[in-house]
Amino acid sequence: MTISDDGLGGLRVLVTGGSRGLGEATVRRFAAAGAQVLTASRGTPPPDLPAVHLPADLATEEGVAELGRRVIDRVGGVDVLVNNAAAASAHAPTLQRSDASWYADLEMNLLSAVRLDRALVPGMVERGSGVVVHVSSIASRLPQRTEASYAAAKAALNTYSRELATEVGRHGVRVVCVLPGFILTEGATEHLTRMAEAQGTGLDDIKQQIVDHLNLPMGRPGDPEDVAEMIAFLASRRAKWLTGAQFRVDGGIIPAVA
Catalytic residue annotation: 150
For 66-79, give one letter per residue: b (16+ CB within 10 A) or e.
bbbeebeeeeebbb
Which DSSP state fits 183?
Answer: B
Measured CA to CA, the distance from residue 39 to residue 74 in angstroms comes to: 12
Measured CA to CA, the distance from residue 216 to residue 250 in angstroms comes to: 8
Q: Between helices 112-127 and 61-75, what is the axis angle to 10°?
A: 30
Phi and psi, residue 174, nearest 5°: -105, 145
Measured CA to CA, the distance from residue 173 to residue 209 in angstroms comes to: 41
